[in-house]
């Protein structure tokens, strides 16, 4: 294990990463039990996941004993049983009695942009007091080597929406989509969605009342539309600065979703009205604790919701009707929804399967739950053509679990991101291994 | 350990309760005065009377209930035992018998609940809750958990802030929590006194107070005090400043104790003596030095916990429990040697630098070292599914080679917390003679799909998943959107 780092420093390049990958996997292989043997891969090799219970989250449903062949980052084919014609050189992952699912897509997170929540110098998730609001672009701050990437990767999170946190404006800025694989740049889509805060939070930054926040939002969108038609040299005198007016262009044209934080049912009703007035808006609700009260209207307006199933406390006068039944009720009403931590957790998106399992315990179907953490986020962010389910041709984000993935006692045994088998190590597993034995032969600082 | 002092008090108190005796007459229930002195009439408050130890006494009285038995269940007794096809018999607020069905004689006429393949466990005890002091709704008007005006507020008592109507208590009940310690927050070196509550619906805090439970003193290490006061340009602004603050206060407490001891000595000799002026802050600290008040210390880092253990030795007191002990796994041996509990989360990490080294195996590693491991919440959300938190820690421990039965892992949720709070003689496990604080689950309590079906406190049903008559609604939620809806 000491050898693992001896050949390269911490400030590596892509080449170093490949080495880490290979050696990290060697480590995995030594830790894994015999029942789940793995080969040591090289980049770009095919992968065959054999004999698992495949939850495709697609038309094929659940394949009780099937195999997935992966090549060049994508799923080549999915078959019943174990094929006899596995091409030579494919890494074989034996998944008998294991569950196989698409990778978990964290629909709302701060992965890669926050190292320590309470240390301002160690996070890049929002702007306050600066010149930008809607124009803030979080993608520039995404760090693929942040500890939370590997820690969540080995828990089965393969994709994430990285969202800006609330700053000092109704608009928080632009979020990005990332993968959790090993690369120097993990951003797959910059400016993938914009984020705005209405409800209590929006009111606070818009003068103290909802009537201020919504009028500000609508005026800003109108400004953006007006700005787009202005001749290049013309003077712009909107309620928002020129830089924000330019930034909001894709939002008003409906090219990217506008994710709006709201909780109270009445706020949602007003948003539905807003969408009727500006039909181009691709609205998504985050939070939505009282969404179930207006579920039919949401379904009709085709507005999806990102929700946290644990939200069941009347933490404010905007969440009096919060209940863990929210997800199940939205499902029955036909609302598209994703399950995530709607406070956009930086450290534990890995708990998303637990959130989904609890939603099942509170009225959501199991199928609905798995969809809400894989396929639905891909649909909401417009990347479901490539991601979110196990189908031939899709990007190969695949997780092999040692049981029902929504169970709190289940953990991934293998994680594949874009066709590459990931090393099952993180800073946390290294700390764990350093302190397994409290009477080591050498001081702890030498144990690697 | 501090439990022994409780041990001597509790049986008497429980006997009083069971007899329907009223403990409000001068606080006869808990040693109302310092050892050796006579009971003072609470109303008279004579000038030479000693400070009352229990001026806000528990008025908790379990309601009458019919005897009942639960059978056809798997039982985890909270001490590591598991009985498949188990049964438990409850009468007069206590457990009469528990074990395999074949060994539990259920008398004629006793109501028998068929647990239908579910599980019975001891009620969950959360040693770290701010319910009531940081209730829902969370408004400035309800923010009563941190007296952030001085690094030492040992004089404040959490029970004076607790709002019994906090809907969070009911959500915790639905999660199987029967007892919880309410702590003041961690802004200060000395945050104030905790209070241990039975999770029952009541109009007053006194009616929730756990009879005979010792008080706790909330203390805090590290970042919180230094950040808060440092940002105000005052002491402490560093970790060394924190320690200077603790030690200065302990020295004052030693002096205060000495003054009272001298006074008592003179009085015993019949000499005229004026008692020292009461000081609420020092009364609490002196209570710790006397071993009557248990120290619950918010402390993340291993090195800092070691410093605290040395300080406790310097001043001759014990630390009951380190809370949030994210780095407990680094010094699990030291904690075990010192008999100090570590209350931990399953997987929280990274929200502050002192939580950066969190690992998922913390709880099982402390357990493996022979320590007193506890799963705690510090959260109105987390408290609702502490069984799942323990399950996660158990599962990660197993993968790291700490392969213990689930029934043994349940000690993290009931028996060890009861030890931490000094109430393990009366609750925390399913044993004959103990309080019937128990939960009937509709499946394996370590499954995400399992829910608490019925929750009993002292044998009295407090929650029933299938019966709205046993699903309380707090005053705050009455007449509001979502009233009485499934939560």
Mean pLDDT, range A330-358, rounded to an integer: 97
Give the model's pLDDT for residue B29: 35
Q: How far is A350 from chain B (nearest CA, A)?
A: 10
Tokens in use for B368? 């493996």
The pLDDT assigned to B5 comes to 40
CA distance A289 to A278: 24
Residues of B in contact with A265 (CB under 8 A): 481
Tens-binned pLDDT, residue by residue, of chain B (487 aa) = 333 343 343 333 333 333 333 333 333 333 333 433 444 444 445 556 789 989 999 999 999 999 999 999 999 999 999 999 999 999 999 999 999 999 999 999 999 999 998 999 999 999 999 999 999 999 999 999 999 999 999 999 999 999 999 999 999 999 999 999 999 999 999 999 999 999 999 999 999 999 999 999 999 999 999 999 999 999 999 999 999 999 999 999 999 999 999 999 999 999 999 999 999 999 999 999 999 999 999 999 999 999 999 999 999 999 999 999 999 999 999 999 999 999 999 999 999 999 999 999 999 999 999 999 999 999 999 999 999 999 999 999 999 999 999 999 999 999 999 999 999 999 999 999 999 999 999 999 999 999 999 999 999 999 999 999 999 999 999 999 999 999 9
Q: Do B448 and A408 touch (CB under 8 A)?
A: yes
Distance CA A231, CA A112 (A): 38
Residue A395 to chain B, least CA–CA distance (Å): 30
**For the segment A413-429, what is each residue's pLDDT rounded down to a tens digit?**
999 999 999 999 999 99
Residue of B nearest to A310 (CA): B381
Percent of chain A surpassing pLDDT 90:
89
pTM of the model: 0.91
Helix (H) or strand (E) holding B322: strand B319-323
Which residues of chain A have a CB within 8 Å of the CB of B359?
428-429, 431-432, 435
CB contact under 8 A, B447 and A312: no
- Tell me if chain A has a CB within 8 Å of the CB of B141: no
pLDDT band at A25 (very low <50, low <70, confident <90, very high): very low
> Which B positions 300-359 lie with beta carbon below 8 A of chain A?
329-333, 347-353, 356-359
pLDDT in tens, A98-145: 999 999 999 999 999 999 999 999 999 999 999 999 999 999 999 999
Q: Is A94 helix (H, G, I), strand (E, B) or coil?
A: strand
Q: What is the mean pLDDT of residues A384-401?
A: 98
What residue in A sits closest to B442 (Cα-Cα)? Answer: A361
Task: Say if residues A189 and A238 touch (Cβ distance below 8 Å).
Answer: no
Neighbours of A381 (CB within 10 A): 25
Q: Does B190 touch chain A (CB under 8 A)?
A: no
Mutate to test the interface with A, among B348, B357, B359 (most CBs of A within 10 A): B359
Would you state the pLDDT for residue B48? Answer: 64
pLDDT on residue B22? 35
pLDDT above 70 coverage of chain A, percent: 90
Whether residue B448 lies within 8 A of chain A, CB to CB, comes out as yes
Torsion sign across C-alpha atoms A58, A60, A63, A68: negative
- The DSSP string of A264-329 is SHHHHHHHHHHHHHSTT--EEEEE-TTGGGGHHHHHHHT--EEE-TT--S--STT-TT--TTHHHH
Dist. CA B174–CA A313, nearest whole Å: 13
pLDDT value for B9 = 38
Instruction: Provide the b/e sequence for B297-319 (b: ≥16 CB within 10 Å).
Output: bbbbbbebbbbbbeebeebebbb
Distance CA A310, CA B471 (A): 18
Which residue from B369, B391, B448 is facing A361, i.e. has the nearest CB?
A: B448
Q: Which residue has the higher pLDDT, A438 or B5?
A: A438
Q: Quick check: A407 and B476 CB within 8 A?
A: no
Nearest chain B Cα distance for residue A4, angstroms:
21
Q: Quick one: pLDDT at residue B127?
A: 98
Q: How far apart are alpha carbons B234 and B228 in whole angstroms?
A: 9
Which residue of chain A has the CA closest to B332?
A438
pLDDT at A3: 32
Q: In sequence order, what DSSP letters do the residues of B370-428 get, joined into one string?
A: T-EEEE---STTGGGGHHHHHHHHHHHHHHTT----HHHHGGGTTHHHHHHHT-TTTSS
Task: Looking at B189-319, list the stretches that DSSP marks H as alpha helix, in order from N- to C-terminal side.
Answer: 223-230, 239-268, 280-289, 302-315
Write out residues 96-125 of B within 8 Å (CB-CB) of A.
none
More confident residue, A26 or B78: B78
Q: A–B: how many Cβ contacts below 8 A? A: 136
Burial of A14 (0-12, 13-18, 19+ CB in 10 A): exposed
Distance CA B251, CA B247 (A): 6
- What are the chain B neighbours of A310 within 8 Å (beta carbons)? 381, 384
Confirm or reject contact between B420 and chain A (CB < 8 A).
no
> Taking all residues of chain A, what is their mean pLDDT, rounded to a whole number?
91
| CA–CA distance, A3 with A30 (Å, rounded to integer) | 15
> How are beta strands A74-80 and A91-94 bridged, if at all?
unpaired
Q: Residue B38: CB partners within 8 Å, gap ≥ 6?
A: none
């Amino acid at each position: 294990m000491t050898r693992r780092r001896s050949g390269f420093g911490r400030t590596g390049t892509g080449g170093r990463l490949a080495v880490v990958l290979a050696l990290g996997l060697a480590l995995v292989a030594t830790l894994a039990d015999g029942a789940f043997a793995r080969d040591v891969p090289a980049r770009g090799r095919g992968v065959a996941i054999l004999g698992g219970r495949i939850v495709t989250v697609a038309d094929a449903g659940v394949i009780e004993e099937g195999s997935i062949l992966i090549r060049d980052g994508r799923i080549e084919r999915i078959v019943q049983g174990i094929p006899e014609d596995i091409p030579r050189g494919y890494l074989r992952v034996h998944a008998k009695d294991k569950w196989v699912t698409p990778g978990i897509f964290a629909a709302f997170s701060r992965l890669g942009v926050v190292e320590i929540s309470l240390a301002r110098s160690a996070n890049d998730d929002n702007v306050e007091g600066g010149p930008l609001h809607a124009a803030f672009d979080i993608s520039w701050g995404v760090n693929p080597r942040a500890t939370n990437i590997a820690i969540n990767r080995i828990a089965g999170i393969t994709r994430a929406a990285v969202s800006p946190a609330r700053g000092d404006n109704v608009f928080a800025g632009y979020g990005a989509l990332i993968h959790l694989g090993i690369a120097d740049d993990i951003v797959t889509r910059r400016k993938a969605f914009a984020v705005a805060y209405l409800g209590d939070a929006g009111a606070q930054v818009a003068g103290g009342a909802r009537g201020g926040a919504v009028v500000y939002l609508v005026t800003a969108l109108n400004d953006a539309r007006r700005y787009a038609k202005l001749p290049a040299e013309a003077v712009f005198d909107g309620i928002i600065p020129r830089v924000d007016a330019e930034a909001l262009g894709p939002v008003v044209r409906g090219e990217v979703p506008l994710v709006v934080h709201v909780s109270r049912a009445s706020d949602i009703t007003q948003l539905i009205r807003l969408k009727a007035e500006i039909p181009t808006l691709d609205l998504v609700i985050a939070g939505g604790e009282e969404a179930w009260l207006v579920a039919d209207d949401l379904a009709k307006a085709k507005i999806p919701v990102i929700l946290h199933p644990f939200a069941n406390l009347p933490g404010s006068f905007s969440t009096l009707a919060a209940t863990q039944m929210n997800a199940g009720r939205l499902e029955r009403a036909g609302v598209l929804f994703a399950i995530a931590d709607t406070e956009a957790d930086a450290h534990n998106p890995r708990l998303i399967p637990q959130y989904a399992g609890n939603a099942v315990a509170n009225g959501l179907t199991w199928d609905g739950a798995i969809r809400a953490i894989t396929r639905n986020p891909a649909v909401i962010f417009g990347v479901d053509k490539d991601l979110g389910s196990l189908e031939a041709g899709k990007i190969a984000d695949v997780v092999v679990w040692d049981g029902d993935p929504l169970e709190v006692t289940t953990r991934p045994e293998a994680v594949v991101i874009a066709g590459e088998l990931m090393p099952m190590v993180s800073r946390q597993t290294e700390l764990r291994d350093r302190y397994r034995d409290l009477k080591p032969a050498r001081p702890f600082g030498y144990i690697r | 350990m501090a439990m022994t002092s409780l041990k001597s008090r509790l049986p008497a108190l429980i006997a009083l309760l069971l007899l329907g005796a009223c403990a409000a007459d001068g606080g006869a229930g808990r040693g109302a005065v310092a050892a050796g002195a006579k009971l003072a009439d609470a109303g008279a408050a004579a000038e030479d009377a000693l400070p009352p130890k229990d001026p806000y006494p528990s008025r908790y009285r379990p309601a009458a209930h019919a005897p009942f038995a639960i059978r056809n269940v798997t039982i985890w007794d909270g001490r590591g035992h598991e009985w498949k096809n188990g049964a438990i018999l409850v009468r007069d607020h206590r457990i009469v018998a528990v074990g395999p069905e074949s060994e539990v004689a259920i008398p004629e006429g006793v109501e028998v609940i068929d647990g239908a393949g579910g599980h019975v466990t001891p009620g969950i005890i959360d040693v770290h809750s701010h319910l009531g002091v940081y209730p829902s709704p969370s408004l400035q008007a309800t923010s009563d958990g941190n007296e952030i005006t001085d690094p030492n507020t040992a004089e404040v008592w959490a029970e004076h802030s607790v709002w019994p109507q906090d809907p969070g208590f009911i959500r915790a009940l639905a999660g199987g929590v029967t007892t919880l310690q309410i702590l003041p927050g961690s802004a200060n070196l000395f945050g104030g006194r905790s209070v241990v509550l039975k999770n029952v619906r009541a109009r007053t805090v006194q009616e929730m107070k756990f009879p005979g439970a010792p008080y706790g003193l909330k203390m805090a290490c590290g970042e919180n005090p230094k950040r808060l006061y440092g940002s105000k340009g005052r002491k402490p602004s560093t970790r060394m400043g924190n320690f200077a603050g603790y030690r200065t206060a302990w020295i004052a407490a030693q002096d205060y104790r000495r003054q009272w001891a001298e006074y008592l000595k003179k009085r015993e000799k019949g000499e005229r003596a004026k008692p020292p002026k009461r000081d609420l802050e020092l009364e609490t600290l002196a209570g710790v030095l006397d071993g009557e008040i248990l120290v619950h210390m918010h402390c993340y880092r291993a090195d800092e916990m070691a410093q605290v253990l040395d300080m406790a030795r310097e001043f001759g007191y014990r630390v009951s429990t380190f809370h949030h002990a994210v780095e407990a796994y680094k010094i699990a041996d030291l904690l075990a040697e010192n008999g100090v509990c570590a209350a931990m989360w399953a997987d929280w990490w990274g929200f502050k630098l002192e939580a950066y080294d969190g690992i998922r195996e913390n709880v099982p590693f402390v357990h493996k070292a022979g320590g007193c491991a506890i799963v705690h919440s510090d959260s109105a959300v987390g408290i609702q599914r502490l069984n799942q938190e323990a399950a996660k820690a158990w599962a990660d421990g197993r993968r790291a080679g700490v392969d213990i039965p689930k029934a043994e892992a349940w000690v993290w949720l009931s028996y060890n917390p009861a030890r931490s709070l000094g109430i393990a003689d009366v609750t925390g496990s399913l044993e004959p003679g103990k309080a019937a604080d128990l939960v009937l689950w509709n499946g394996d309590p370590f499954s995400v799909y399992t829910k608490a079906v019925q929750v009993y406190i002292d044998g009295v049903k407090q929650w029933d998943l299938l019966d709205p008559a046993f699903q309380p609604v707090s005053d705050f939620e009455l007449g509001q959107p979502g009233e009485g809806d499934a939560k």
